[in-house]
Amino acid sequence: MANIKVQKMPTIRRLPTYLYKLSEMHKAGVGIVATPELARYMNLAEIVIRKDLAITGVSGQPGVGYKVCELIDAIRRFLQWENPASAILVGAGSLGHALLGYDGFEDYGLKIIAAFDADPDKIGTLVHGREVFDIALLAEKVRELKVELGIICVPATYAQEVADAMVAAGIRGIWNFANVSLKTPDHVVVQREVIAGGFAVLSVKLRQSMENSDRTEPELKD
């Protein structure tokens, strides 16, 4: 595959949302989806939908739409989610628990197979069926389990230390939920999850909604 330009990242970020909708349709026995329907669901213009989906190599039939099954397969293939990728997670606090318990990851090609923590009270416990190992065993376990993905859920102050340990253990991709940017060697890929990004979008949408209702409707007071 040729390198995907960074401008395509918003498209890639949206692919799981398409996948979710298409899977729901597939379960409901729907065979074909028209672009306007996807546009309404995604809250995007039809041209954006067509451009988004073109990245997977599938093009819709004009006037008809996309074959649901074909599109699901194409998205999963594009993201290499046909076979789930295994990951380990460091930091079995509340966010770690939430991610270990998230019911959608396997649909999205991700299988978290073990967790690590430094807290003696957590080590040896099971979280949603996964054992929490001593962080000191990270390198050993990563090699034993042949894992290339690591998820960081520790507080910001420990995140760099954990990233260094992951890199030393051979992890190639890091999904970083800590509120800090990490320094890693060039051969390691980091995706930082800025949860507040969604809140920024909500803030702007909400302001627009308020302004529009102020302009178009009499103000309601109780």
Judged by CB under 8 A, the chain residues 31 through 90 that form the site for a second copy are 41, 43-45, 48, 78-81, 85
Comparing CB distances to a second copy, the nearer of 165 and 178 is: 178
CA dihedral 170, 176, 182, 184 (to 10 degrees): 20
The candidate with the shortest Cα–Cα distance to 93, out of 20, 148, 154, is 154
**Smallest distance from a second copy to CB 47, Å:** 10
How many beta carbons lie within 10 A of that of residue 161, not counting itself? 13
With contact defined as beta carbons under 8 Å apart, do 96 and 127 qualify?
yes
Site string for a second copy, 6-25 (x = CB under 8 A): xx-xx-xxxxxx--xx----
Site for a second copy in 170-209 (CB under 8 A): 172-173, 175, 179, 181, 186-189, 191-209
Task: Determine the size of the site formed for a second copy (CB under 8 A).
Answer: 79
User: Does the protein bind a second copy through residue 93 (CB under 8 A)?
Assistant: yes
For a second copy, the closer of residues 31 and 101 by Cβ is 101
Of 145, 135, 163, 168, which is closest to residue 87 (Cα–Cα)? 145
Residues 96 to 125: which contact a second copy by CB under 8 A?
A: 97-99, 101-105, 108-110
Q: In what order do the strands lie in the sheet with 85-90?
A: 126-127, 130-134, 110-117, 85-90, 149-152, 173-176, 189-192
Where in 135-154 is the site for a second copy (CB under 8 A)? 148-149
Q: Which residues pair with 134 in a beta bridge?
A: 117
Minimum Å gap between C-beta 89 and a second copy is 12
DSSP state of 7: G
By CB under 8 A, name the one of 126, 155, 164, 168 that touches a second copy: 155
Closer residue to a second copy (CB): 9 or 168: 9
